[in-house]
């Protein structure tokens, strides 16, 4: 029987090693260069030399003050007085009323006007103007007369002329000769400061002078 030589068997190959999965590489962060910007210092401006403050001498201060002459001072006082009078007048004018505008004290106003007419007519007939002494002449005019609270004359105004300036002036003189009139009643002063009376003046060689 022929013996065969034994053929050695190849050693078994080792089992394959398990490969562990490697983590994915992390990308490196880009390096940002920090650029430091150095602010430029402002250029130095040469300072101007300070001027010394000059203190005026007492004589200079006195001379700088405005000087008012006596005439300028009197003018300022006169202007102040005029403003005060204008202010008082504007306040007074707010209560100037014609007789027909009186509402609360009509009876008192009517009685006052009647007494005023009587006094003016007496004075006018005693001092009848030469301008009206013309035979057969009859001339009329219309005039407003303002009476202050104390009975003095506040104003006179020819509303409608007679056509004869001498006669118009004579009518104004009669009013002045008749003044002062009676003071306005206290009750009437609650409504007015100045009472304006409007009347038609008639000059006739037959009937004399009337103001109605």
In this prediction, what percent of the chain has a pLDDT beyond 70? Answer: 63
Burial environment of residue 20 by CB neighbours within 10 A (0 to 12, 13 to 18, 19 or more): exposed
Closest CA to 180 of 98, 125, 120, 122: 120
Q: Report yes or no: 177 and 127 within 8 Å, Cβ to Cβ.
A: yes
- pLDDT tops 50 at residue 187: yes
* Average pLDDT, integer, range 38-48: 50
Average pLDDT score, the chain = 78
pLDDT at position 27, please? Answer: 53
Q: Report yes or no: 79 and 177 within 8 Å, Cβ to Cβ.
A: no
* pLDDT tens-digit map of 49-105: 555 556 555 555 445 555 668 878 878 888 887 777 766 555 555 689 999 989 888
Q: Report yes or no: 165 and 149 within 8 Å, Cβ to Cβ.
A: no
Q: Report yes or no: 118 and 148 within 8 Å, Cβ to Cβ.
A: no
Q: Please tell me the distance from the alpha carbon of residue 117 to that of residue 107, in angstroms, as a whole number.
A: 16
Question: 212 in helix, strand or coil?
Answer: coil
Instruction: Mean pLDDT check: name the lowest of 73-87, 117-131, 140-154.
Output: 73-87
Q: Report yes or no: 145 and 175 within 8 Å, Cβ to Cβ.
A: yes
């Amino acid at each position: 029987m022929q013996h065969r030589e034994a053929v050695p068997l190849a050693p078994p190959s080792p089992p394959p090693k398990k490969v562990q999965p490697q983590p994915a590489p992390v990308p490196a962060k880009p390096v940002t260069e920090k650029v430091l910007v150095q602010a430029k210092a402002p250029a130095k401006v040469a300072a101007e030399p300070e001027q010394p403050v000059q203190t005026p001498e007492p004589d200079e201060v006195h001379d700088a003050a405005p000087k008012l002459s006596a005439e300028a001072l009197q003018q300022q006082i006169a202007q102040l007085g005029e403003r005060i009078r204008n202010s008082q007048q504007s306040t007074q004018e707010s209560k100037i009323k014609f007789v027909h505008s009186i509402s609360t004290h009509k009876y008192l106003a009517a009685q006052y006007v009647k007494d005023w007419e009587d006094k003016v007519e007496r004075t006018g007939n005693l001092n009848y103007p030469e301008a009206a002494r013309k035979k057969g002449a009859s001339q009329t005019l219309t005039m407003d007369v303002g009476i202050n609270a104390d009975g003095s004359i506040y104003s006179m105004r020819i509303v409608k002329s007679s056509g004869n300036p001498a006669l118009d002036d004579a009518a104004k003189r009669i009013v002045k000769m008749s003044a002062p009139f009676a003071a306005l009643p206290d009750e009437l002063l609650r409504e007015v400061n100045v009472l304006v009376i409007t009347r038609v003046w008639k000059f006739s060689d037959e009937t004399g002078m009337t103001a109605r």
